[in-house]
Structure 1
Amino acid sequence: MKVTGDLHLMKKLNKSIILETIIADSPISRTAISEKTGLNKATVSNLVNELIASQLVCETGPGESSGGRKPVMLLFNREAGYAVGVDLGVNYILTVLTDLQGRIIKERRVSLHENGFDYVLEQLHDSIRWALAKAPDSPYGVIGIGIGVPGLVRPDGMIMTAPNLRWNKIDLKSQIEETFQLPVTIDNEANAGALGEKSYGDYQTAKDMIYVSAGIGIGVGIILNNHLYRGFSGFSGEMGHMTINLDGRPCSCGNRGCWELYASENALLEEAAKVLGEEQTADEMTLDYLVHLAEKGRKEVIELFRSVGYYLGVGIANVINTFNPELVIIGNRLSLIKSWIEESLQACVEERSLQYHHKRVQIEFSKLAMKSAAVGAATLAIQAFFAQSKATVEEG
């Protein structure tokens, strides 16, 4: 038995527990940490001093006294480092620079005019360089880069397929790591969005949450019992490709009648092109333009929004019937047209979901809107950074 190794392991575990407690509950005193964790006061005091020396924790003013001397309160130093989060969309790249608690410091959105990998990689490099240049000086600097991608991503970060980008088997992770010499974490953008909502959204207390990313395509991030559900192979959540029309039009995924063919931004723009005819060129037909027309009262555009809202409700009813969640959050681009799609969406869900499932579910539009996936991607990088200091016990 290696006593020294066991003691080292226990110290790392205890320090990790203390840091997590400070992050979750700061400002907090050493005594309160001892009470919450069950660790003795001497252990807490010693390990807190190490965390202060590492600049991850700092002392602040005195707290409320419970009868004796006022306790010194502890804060997590969220500015000890920064993370880059990227939402790589089909027609945009949204990049954020956050502190270690996911607070956005800077953000930048650029449009993509094509999906070729070389072109997108160049734009991605440019966006990341911009974020790195904006990072303030800090003890740990930029600790990593997280990227959300609209496709199937293996646990090791390999992009197996991204149908709407027309990418297959792309090792983006290695290329970004080689260029910037920083740890890179890549995940499905809906998973990243769900993580962003769970970590920093308005409904963090929900234990069972479904995040619907409704943009050019549709993806779903699934939080079950407070944990991101990835599925057996890590590819869960591709509900944008569930069939809602048996004899529907063909989809880029190889299926027919997929949900995202009827309820996505892309579906909306395709229908708008038919309805509005020659009024705008294909390049000018954007969601922002349609919002402009709807605000001016164009009835045919408002009706298109309502139709897309109804179809979005069809899929959400299936989600509710399947998972019986506490909360469904709608994010990404279609959250921007909430005022026009909410009524038809809610009516469809009420009509098509089972009564006992629908009765208690809460359906909300994301307050983070377009930023959920980018913030979630930054969170992936932050989690990877802190995981480096955590001891793991492998099953023998």
Structure 2
Amino acid sequence: MAKPTGDPALIKQINTSIVLECILQYAPLSRAAIAQKTGLNKATVSSLVQDLIDRQLVLEVGAGASSGGRKPVMLMFNSRAGFAIGIDVGVNYLRSILTDLDGTMLQQLHHPVIDCRHDAVITAISECIDQFKQQAPDSPYGIIGIGVGVPGIVNEEGTVVFAPNMGWSQVELKHALEKLYQLPVMIDNEANAGALGEHIYGAGRPYRDQIYVSAGIGIGTGIVLHNKLYKGSSGFSGELGHLSIQFDGRSCSCGNQGCWELYASEHALLEAGAAYGYHDIHAMLQAAEQNKPHMRELFHDIGTYLGIGIANIANIFNPEAVIIGNRMSLAAEWIRPAIEQAVSQRTLRFHHKRLLIQFAELGEQSAVRGAAYYAIEAFWTEVKSGH
């Protein structure tokens, strides 16, 4: 009986994936270096690299250093083979970017959201996409996909099941955008996108276990454990903004009482600031810089409430770092001392000992960068699978 053999097409697909992953991770490097790192023989590497060059996914970028003999030809992946679009949908803003396949931001748009009904928001999203499609440079693969972060619960089909601060329920956002553009569309919770953005491009790069706190109009959290987004059994994890921190507290739009986001979000800050005639976070930051004591106190109170929630997170997850992003990261200077004080007082010392509290390196762009990365990651997955 003949011995079973591997399907040659499948073997080629697996080896192509190995070679491409090596180039993505270590470039610039030579064919010989790829063979050394992967254990594949040089002839196989040469053939697979040529195939990737022919598909315009890999470029030869000149000669490298030689240890004797002919200088090796160095390889890079072609970051301009295509472009990704990232969208961050906020309750009161819409941020969108165009990036290359390296995640480098090439263009960005930012619009206030006046009407947050889903039809109006989808129209605003499509206007951004249309503009990027017109402006994107020529490339072999064009726009390779669209990633969208939304402030709500998203299921595996890309439907926004519930976004209380937007008034959305069962909005089939992925289906709507794919129908409009015939492109791959990835939809996720905005805080997950922010966690991914910081993990890949920002302050979260050094950490395997981290929690990203998206403090905007509401509060969401993205959980990265062992370098992977933790999504929970149904994909709905991270709704820590709806942890109860006041057992008999105010009613929340989610149906709960005393939710963390009612006391520690940008919305909570704006509600408190309205009593002093402030209706914009930038005006409130300016007042704090002018040493107006009532505004310093408001930021201190918000920082304390943020710290209370972060202490709960630290006691549950024991992360290496908690990264605070979205709009409240603009107030880092004024809220950090209160956050650190509350965390120090309320976190078990075993958890607090090595906990780092940081603010998002990408500022307000964590989620939109992460959203674009969803599209990039999906493209490379398709390429590695032989499509």
When the two structures are superposed, what TM-score results if normalisation uses the length of structure 1? 0.94
> Following TM superposition, by how much is the alpha carbon of 1:390 offset from its aligned partner in structure 2, in angstroms?
3.2
> CA–CA distance in 2 between the matches of 1:159 and 1:75?
38
> CA–CA distance in 1 between the matches of 2:120 and 2:283?
26
> CA–CA distance in 1 between the matches of 2:356 and 2:8?
47
Equivalence map 1:276-291=2 (5 Å): 276=276, 279=277, 285-291=279-285
Equivalence map 1:146-157=2 (5 Å): 146-157=147-158
What is the aligned partner in structure 2 of residue 352 from structure 1? 346
Q: State the superposition RMSD in angstroms.
A: 1.6
Equivalence map 1:39-188=2 (5 Å): 39-188=40-189
What is the aligned partner in structure 2 of residue 36 from structure 1? 37
What is the aligned partner in structure 1 of residue 289 from structure 2? 295
> Following TM superposition, by how much is the alpha carbon of 1:20 offset from its aligned partner in structure 2, in angstroms?
1.4
- Contact 1:95 1:131 (8 Å CA) reproduced: no
Distance 1:43 1:64, change over 3 A: same
What is the aligned partner in structure 1 of residue 366 from structure 2? 372
Secondary structure, aligned partner of 1:270: helix
- Contact 1:59 1:75 (8 Å CA) reproduced: yes
> CA–CA distance in 2 between the matches of 1:244 and 1:2?
64
> Following TM superposition, by how much is the alpha carbon of 1:389 offset from its aligned partner in structure 2, in angstroms?
2.6
> CA–CA distance in 1 between the matches of 2:181 and 2:6?
34
Equivalence map 1:118-267=2 (5 Å): 118-267=119-268
> Following TM superposition, by how much is the alpha carbon of 1:178 offset from its aligned partner in structure 2, in angstroms?
1.3
What are the superposed Cα offsets for residues 284-306 of structure 1, whole Å, 9 maximum, x if unpaired? x1111211222222211111111
Distance 1:92 1:48, change over 3 A: same
> CA–CA distance in 2 between the matches of 1:261 and 1:372?
22
- Contact 2:85 2:375 (8 Å CA) reproduced: yes
> CA–CA distance in 2 between the matches of 1:197 and 1:67?
42
Secondary structure, aligned partner of 2:238: coil
Structure 2 letter corresponding to 1:129: D
> CA–CA distance in 2 between the matches of 1:218 and 1:67?
58
What are the superposed Cα offsets for residues 53-95 of structure 1, whole Å, 9 maximum, x if unpaired? 1111101121122333221111111111000000001100000
> CA–CA distance in 2 between the matches of 1:381 and 1:349?
36
What are the superposed Cα offsets for residues 204-225 of structure 1, whole Å, 9 maximum, x if unpaired? 1311111111111111111111
Structure 2 letter corresponding to 1:343: P
> Following TM superposition, by how much is the alpha carbon of 1:31 offset from its aligned partner in structure 2, in angstroms?
1.4
What is the aligned partner in structure 2 of residue 306 from structure 1? 300
Q: Which ranges in structure 1 are unaligned for 5 or more consecutive residues? A: none
> Following TM superposition, by how much is the alpha carbon of 1:5 offset from its aligned partner in structure 2, in angstroms?
7.2
> CA–CA distance in 2 between the matches of 1:3 and 1:196?
44
- Contact 1:12 1:389 (8 Å CA) reproduced: no
Equivalence map 1:15-30=2 (5 Å): 15-30=16-31
> Following TM superposition, by how much is the alpha carbon of 1:38 offset from its aligned partner in structure 2, in angstroms?
1.5
> Following TM superposition, by how much is the alpha carbon of 1:182 offset from its aligned partner in structure 2, in angstroms?
1.3
> CA–CA distance in 2 between the matches of 1:49 and 1:97?
29
- Contact 1:85 1:146 (8 Å CA) reproduced: yes
Structure 2 letter corresponding to 1:14: N
Distance 1:173 1:5, change over 3 A: farther
> Following TM superposition, by how much is the alpha carbon of 1:245 offset from its aligned partner in structure 2, in angstroms?
0.6
Aligned residues: 385
> CA–CA distance in 1 between the matches of 2:310 and 2:259?
13
> CA–CA distance in 1 between the matches of 2:131 and 2:341?
44
User: Within the alignment, does 1:329 sit opposite 2:330 as a pair?
Assistant: no
- Contact 1:84 1:98 (8 Å CA) reproduced: yes
> CA–CA distance in 2 between the matches of 1:378 and 1:49?
28
Identity of aligned residues (%): 53
> CA–CA distance in 2 between the matches of 1:387 and 1:204?
21
Single out whichever of 206-215 and 113-122 deviates more from structure 2: 113-122
Decide which of 357, 365, 368 is 1:363's aligned counterpart. Answer: 357
> Following TM superposition, by how much is the alpha carbon of 1:162 offset from its aligned partner in structure 2, in angstroms?
0.5
Structure 2 letter corresponding to 1:53: D
Structure 2 letter corresponding to 1:236: S
Secondary structure, aligned partner of 2:328: helix
Secondary structure, aligned partner of 1:388: helix
- Contact 1:150 1:188 (8 Å CA) reproduced: yes
Distance 1:4 1:181, change over 3 A: farther
> Following TM superposition, by how much is the alpha carbon of 1:127 offset from its aligned partner in structure 2, in angstroms?
1.6
> Following TM superposition, by how much is the alpha carbon of 1:186 offset from its aligned partner in structure 2, in angstroms?
0.4
> CA–CA distance in 2 between the matches of 1:68 and 1:203?
42
Structure 1 letter corresponding to 2:65: E
- Contact 2:96 2:108 (8 Å CA) reproduced: yes
> CA–CA distance in 2 between the matches of 1:119 and 1:186?
18
Decide which of 292, 314, 321 is 1:320's aligned counterpart. Answer: 314
Structure 1 letter corresponding to 2:315: N
- Contact 2:198 2:361 (8 Å CA) reproduced: no
